[in-house]
Amino acid sequence: MSPPKKLAQRTPPLPSPSDPQPSTLIAQPSPSPLRIETDVACTVCGCVCDDLSLHFQGGQIVRVERACVLAEPWFAALAQAAPPAAFLGMQVATHEQAITAAVEILSHSQAPLIYGLSRSSTPGQRAAVELAERVGATIDTTASICHGPSIMAIQEVGESTCTLGEVACRADLVVFWGANPAVSHPRHFERYSLDPKSDLLPRGRADRRVILINDVLNESAAFADRFVAVPECRDYELIWQLRELVRNEEAVVSANSVLPAEELRSLAREFKRCRYGVVFFGLGLAQSKQGHLVVSALLELVADLNAHTRFAARRLRIPGDVAGADSVLCWQTGFPFAVNMGRGYPRYNPGEFSAQNLLERGEVDSCVLVGTESIREFSEQAQAHLATIPTIVLEYPHIEPQVPGHVRFTTSVYGIHATGTAYRMDETPIPLRQLCSSPYPTDERVLREILRRLGDGFPPQVLPQPSRNTLDD
């Protein structure tokens, strides 16, 4: 997979992370009484900020406080959206008609795929795993096109980790590597990595040192104390050179090192001499050409640093509950993503069972999409095959589906219309409350109705097992 596109430098200056987030009017208020819900969790990105205030009138969101630039349009669209609950193709259908059509598709499928889940919640994700087991499907999350290589690296070498609360209270050195949090996670600085004050960091930002390491000067550089420019595709070399200097400060730096010798030694010293350091790494590393090898090297560098100080590594996860989807798959199947249930038991093999690769090879004959926003990141070949097979789409009312779907369900939003759980990027579970009613079912209800109907009249789709003689051969 090619590395992500570089972000262009934004001309207008960004607001300071310490600036108060304004209250955003997103709909005209109705005459009914105003109701304010505080400490609301936002599931737009992996930060899952849980300090928003939503103003409701007549069951409609009319104002949002402390929403970031990513969340504002998300809530504004939610306040205006009211599509029908179910579709067959482009035609409006009843819920029962849509369920019947979905059951018909899956009952005739020999190689189904269930994909997405990062815009869902724990109840819906559990239902998706049960459905995958019932029909012998491959189930994959958006991690396979995001931080899948990072997960594979963690499986290989382990991870020295922490919560975002520890970062906010303890970290005097924060490193962003291959990431642009000012754009991808607008409130990360304010809530976790730059501004928070604590007993150990009483002056907040003044007590922290922030380093940005990237191959391009992006928007986050404006908030960093130091920017380290890495030539494209040379992160792996830089990490290993830093590892050598962390182990031995007197080590000889070669003439063709990634950085000048003094800059390299200075960076290694900063890493070793902090009291508590954390490196947040993004898709610039995870989706680089070396993939999980680069992340493995970074995790080993962090392990080396723990011989001298306290250091941790954290993935900057972008989709709202992708960490939850991976967690649910782990404790349901033993594996975090790219899991095949075709033989009646879970098998894990990224690449072989990753959604994009399966679609590119034409090895899928139907697809259940629980959220479609990430489909735009698929290759043209994968999207072309997806357009040729029956699809069952579950999407929120305010999200324009990237795939129209042969069958489509409009589902209620967890944390607004339904209770649930979302996992923050540090795997901390955040409870989601029901704040108002909705005419739409949850994706859990839709998936369990399909599951029940399949159980009523259709046998499970299990591929034949290899014979003992074949295995002996």
Identify the top-confidence range among 8-12, 15-19, 95-99, 453-457.
95-99
pLDDT tens across 325-335, in order? 999 999 999 99
Residue 387 has pLDDT above 50, yes or no: yes
**What mean pLDDT, rounded, does the chain reach?**
90
Under 8 Å CB-to-CB from 22, ≥6 apart: which residues? Answer: 65
Residue 371 pLDDT class (50, 70, 90 cuts): very high
The predicted structure's pLDDT at residue 405:
94
pLDDT number for residue 31? 66
pLDDT for 4? 41
pLDDT at 157 over 50: yes
Note the pLDDT tens digit of each residue in 9-55. Answer: 333 344 454 455 566 766 665 567 899 999 999 999 999 999 999 99
Selected from 3.40.50.740, 3.40.50.10070, 3.40.50.1580, 2.40.50.140, the CATH number assigned to the domain covering 86-145+320-464 reads 3.40.50.740
Whether the Cβ atoms of residue 149 and residue 295 lie closer than 8 Å to each other:
yes
- Please determine, for residue 404, whether its predicted confidence score (pLDDT) is greater than 50: yes
Query: The pTM is what?
Result: 0.88
Dihedral class, residue 178 (left if φ above 0, else alpha if ψ from -120 to 50, else beta): left
Which option is the CATH number for 148-315: 3.30.70.260, 3.40.228.10, 3.40.190.10, 3.90.660.10? 3.40.228.10
Res. 214: pLDDT tops 60:
yes
Q: DSSP secondary-structure letter at 414? A: B
Query: Domain extents for the chain?
Result: 24-80, 86-145+320-464, 148-315
d(CA 384, CA 406): 15
Which residue in the block uniquely carries the two structure tokens 């059951």? 103
List own/partner pairs for 10-14 with CB under 8 A and 24 or more apart: 10/219, 13/222, 14/182, 14/219, 14/222
Express each pLDDT in 109-147 by its tens digit: 999 999 999 999 999 999 999 999 999 999 999 999 999
What's the average model confidence in pLDDT over 204-231?
A: 96
Q: What is the mean pLDDT of residues 172-176?
A: 98
351-363: burial string, b at 16+ Cβ within 10 Å, e else? eebbbbbbbbeee
pLDDT tens readout for residues 251-277: 889 888 999 999 999 999 999 999 999
For a pLDDT cut of 90, what percent of the chain falls above it? Answer: 83
